[in-house]
Chains A and B, each alone.
Chain A
Amino acid sequence: MNALPTRWRLSPDSTLSRAIDGIITSPKAAIGAVVTILLVLVAVFGPWLAPQNPYDLGAIDFFDARLPPLSPSMNGSIYLLGTDGQGRDMLSAMIYGLRTSIAVGLLAGIVALVVGTALGLVAAYVGGRVDALVMRLVDLMLGLPAILVALMLLALLGQGVWKVILALVLVQWAQFARAVRAAALVERNKEYVEAAVSLGLSRPRILFGHMLPNCLPPIIVVGTLQVASAISAEATLSFLGIGLPITEPSLGLLIANGYKVLLSGQYWISVYPGLLLLVLVFSINVVGDRLREVFNPRFLGR
């Protein structure tokens, strides 16, 4: 990267193609990526794929409550994964839960990425007091356990979709800021930045047009792992009853519903949503782990 900064090297395409190469060359990561993409597609096209709309009260039948997997329903169709306490088809409820889980995790991850990246870049470029202030905040956030910060916020604010996203962003931006700052500090001293400065380009243009593309590797790695952790954290908070409200059931809330009947042996209400959550988080983590191997780990601030 110290060679002449030719146009194609600066473009994000090279980072992206390295990422894709890295994933394809590892069977484990490739499977993880395929599963992740499949699950995202299922979430996007959920309403057309689900056998039933689990939140349409006209479609569910209370007499079908708590049927084990593969039971026939009153109208002759088969509940592949059984039904829950209200007589909802588990498979359909899971598909809708997957939508909520992915949407919340992705949104929180993206907002944290934008906020953290911007702060990290500015801190590295401006330096001095701004840098010291941002890094103090980062140290403070990374010093406290994420679950404690989220608990604190939600205990004080109450539950709700936007509050959960706010809590997740609050615990995650610091990871991005630290990683991006470390990468940007290396980039700042390179010749192309000097060239951009002497050309008289504006500060935002240098930061976001020239340095940002070169800081992409750590952003991609941290982003992947943080989306997985956001999905998992949201599920945990919802399970504890302080996350998403019952009107927006995510996978975590479905599992919580199953917890109440677990001891009476109705395992399917919590086992299948949990398995889906595990497969989702595990697949994303496997991809993120591979990306960390592919890109130089020294950019990750450790």
Chain B
Amino acid sequence: MSGAAEGDDNGKTAVCARTMTVFIIRRLLQSLGVLLATSVIVFLGVFAIGNPADILIAADATQAERQAAIVALGLDRPLVEQYWIFLTNALQGDLGRSFVFNQPAIGLILARLPATLELAFIALLIALIAGIPLGLIAGLKPQSLVDETIMTGSILGFSLPNFWQGMMLIMIFSVWLGWLPAGGRGDTTQFLGVTTSLLNWDGIAHLILPATNLALFNLALVIRLTRTGVREIMPLDFIKFARAKGLTERRIVLVHVLKNIMIPVVTVVGMEFGSIIAFAVVTETIFSWPGIGKLLIDSIMLLDRPVVVSYLLVVVFMFIVINLLVDIAYSLLDPRIRLRDAQ
């Protein structure tokens, strides 16, 4: 199969394309399975554990209204049939109406999604920009004082409770120093149809603390991944060869080592993007960031179940899509993975 990489053999290329297609179809089916399983769990959670009539009908409804609503919602039908209705509605983008906002729940989620995505994306960027150099430094001087300090710092990064660390950021930079705002999103700008905080200073000032808060855990992760990668690559022959060729240490590290650690780092971090969106719940709560995470917590507190259900399905869906894309990208880069999976 290795010959297919050169693309000079038509037969082999065709086989390769076929394994690739098989791989993608298998992964798609698996993803659909996970999504279906999630929908069953969420459905059962809402419709079987609590009394769905209490959850879906406003508390101030009269007995007659209540009865009419039960029939209208199909709550008098068998559970399997109810699940089928829930599923077909969900596939048409109808996940119920929010009690609090009296709007389609899915619309509420989608309206707040860009704010969360922006926050998560900037957090990821901070983690990469700060984490890779720190991991490089630690990995190039193993067991040194610098390495020990950076690695202990990364354990600290894992151990810092995210919500408390965010509160300390507010306390230090907003309350004591007064440099940055403590919460909210600030001014946003419309750019090419996207609402963003990045194009004016007020928006950026509001973004710094929450993005730092969200980045810290992944910063620790990137440091560890980079350090491990450096330590694995440095003893390899091609590094020795590069040294023998007379390349500067600087060029070896910045070009050859960095290029080789980027694949695992980007893969793992790509998969972490889903976790970042999930963890944004905490950050958005602390910094009153108007994204889907804050909407979720508010909705849980107000018992706005359709919004909770929509959040869970949308985030799991996003998560599955991200994993699928990372898997496909990775299998394009590394043929061993799709071969193992296709067999």
Contacts and interface: CB of A to CB of B under 8 A. Distances in A.
Contacts of A228: 159
B161 A148 contact: no
Nearest to B156: A282
Contact of A240 (B42, B285, B312): B285
A255 B282 CA distance: 13
A41 interface: no
A242 interface: yes
Interface in A267-286: 267, 270-271, 274, 277-278, 281-282, 285-286
B159 A151 contact: no
Contacts of A58: none
Contacts of A242: 297, 300
Interface stretch (A78-86, A122-130, A152-160): A152-160
A286 B49 contact: no
A240 B275 contact: no
Interface string A140-158: 1001110110011101110
A255 B159 CA distance: 16
Contact of B167 (A148, A157, A274, A282): A274
A235 interface: yes
A199 interface: no
A278 B161 contact: yes
Contacts of A224: none
Interface string A245-273: 00000001001001100110101001100
A286 B164 contact: no
B46 A278 contact: no
B301 A232 contact: no
A241 interface: yes
Contacts of A270: 164, 167
Interface-centre pick from A152, A252, A259 (highest chain B CB count, 10 A): A152
A148 B164 contact: no
B275 A145 contact: yes
Chain A facing B: main interface SS: helix
Interface stretch (B83-91, B124-132, B233-241, B315-323): B315-323
B286 A263 contact: no
B274 interface: yes
Contacts of A239: 161, 163-164, 282
B171 interface: yes
A145 B323 CA distance: 12
A263 B182 contact: yes
Interface in B41-55: 41-42, 45-46, 49-50
B37 A145 contact: no
Contacts of A241: 297, 300-301
B281 A155 contact: no
B162 interface: yes
Given A145-B279, A236-B282, A240-B285, A277 B161 contact: yes
Interface in A125-180: 140, 143-145, 147-148, 151-153, 155-157
Contact of B45 (A157, A235, A262, A281): A157
A242 B171 CA distance: 24
Contacts of B168: 271, 274
A289 interface: yes
B280 to A, nearest CB: 10
A258 B285 CA distance: 14
Contacts of B282: 147, 236, 239-240
A298 interface: no
Interface residues of A, number: 39
Contacts of B161: 232, 235-236, 239, 252, 255, 274, 277-278, 281
B330 interface: no
Interface string B159-179: 111111001101100110000
A242 to B, nearest CB: 6
Contacts of A255: 161, 163-164, 167
Contact of B175 (A140, A145, A265, A281): A265
Contact of B152 (A28, A143, A274): A28
Contacts of A281: 159, 161
B271 to A, nearest CB: 9
Interface in B273-313: 274-275, 278-279, 281-282, 285-286, 296-297, 300-301, 308, 312
Contacts of B49: 156-157
20 contacts: A140-B37, A144-B319, A145-B319, A148-B315, A151-B278, A152-B41, A152-B45, A153-B45, A155-B296, A157-B49, A239-B164, A240-B163, A240-B282, A242-B297, A255-B164, A258-B167, A259-B167, A270-B167, A281-B159, A286-B152
Interface of B: 34, 37, 41-42, 45-46, 49-50, 152, 155-156, 158-164, 167-168, 170-171, 174-175, 182, 274-275, 278-279, 281-282, 285-286, 296-297, 300-301, 308, 312, 315-316, 319, 323
Interface of A: 28, 140, 143-145, 147-148, 151-153, 155-157, 228, 232, 235-236, 239-242, 252, 255, 258-259, 262-263, 265, 267, 270-271, 274, 277-278, 281-282, 285-286, 289
Given A152-B42, A157-B49, 20 more contacts: A143-B323, A145-B275, A145-B278, A145-B319, A147-B275, A148-B274, A151-B281, A151-B312, A155-B296, A236-B282, A240-B282, A242-B297, A259-B167, A262-B170, A271-B168, A278-B160, A278-B161, A282-B156, A285-B158, A286-B155
Q: Which 8 A-B pairs have the closest CB atoms?
A: A156-B45, A274-B164, A145-B275, A282-B159, A148-B278, A145-B278, A281-B159, A239-B163
